[in-house]
Structure formats: C-alpha cells, structure tokens
Amino acid sequence: MKKLKIVGLYVMSALYILAGINHFISPDGYLRLIPEYLPFHELINILAGISEVVFGIALLFPKTRGWAAWGIILMLLAFIPAHIYFIQLNSCIENGICLPPWTGWFRLLVIHPILIAWAYLYTRKL
C-alpha cells in the first residue's frame, strides 16, 4: 500500500508540474475558463500556473509535502468558479473546447472531489 501511495505521489506531482507549465505554453485555453466577472485574467492564469508548478515540486520533499498538499486543496477549491463557469457555458467555449454538457458536471462533482481527496492523502507523513 505504501508503494502505491508513493507512486501516486510522483504521478500527482508530475501532473501538477505539467499542468502548471501548460498555463504558460497554452494560456488561451485557461484564459477562456476564467469567469468574466473576475478581473486580471492573465494574472490569474500566471498565478495558477506558478502555484501548480511550485506545489507539484514541493510534493516531492517530505518537509514541504504537507503544506503543498494543503495548497493544492485550496487551489482546487479556488478553481471551482471556473468549473461552474464552464457549466454555465454549456461545456462549450467559443473557439475552444466543446464537450457534452454532462462533462462539466462530471468534472465538478466527481473529478474535482477525487483530486481533493487525492491531495488530502499527502497532508500527513507517508
């Protein structure tokens, strides 16, 4: 079980690092997901990308793993408005990604809680 948890840690770390880097490589997709009522879309995207990379790296070190996991949880909670906005757009962004409407709900109600629970596993020592 411990080996599986360690593998999960490395997978999670890689996913957040890669997702964070992608905020800088392909910002348009992320910018379109930021609700219109929020200001400074570019800054929000940059901060999200930096946070994902920093938390992903910090997961790898025992001394920073706990705060990184809590940071990921808080970050995921901060992303909820983007998921709701995607649902309001009927899971279709103009000149961007268009998915079946149920996928927005699935991401918000299933995937997002799973990601939060996954991060919670690493709030304590392995």
More confident residue, 37 or 126: 37
> Are 8 and 121 spatial neighbours (Cβ–Cβ below 8 Å)?
yes
Averaged pLDDT of the chain: 94
Residue pLDDT, tens place only, 26-58: 999 899 989 999 999 999 999 999 999 999 999
Is pLDDT of 70 > 90? yes
Structure-token pair, residue 50: 């930096």
Model-wide pTM > 0.75: yes
Determine the pLDDT at residue 72: 98
Which is it for the CA torsion 38, 39, 42, 46, positive or negative? negative
Domain spans in the chain, listed from the N-terminal domain onward = 2-120
Residue 56: burial class (beta carbons within 10 Å; 0-12, 13-18, 19+)? buried
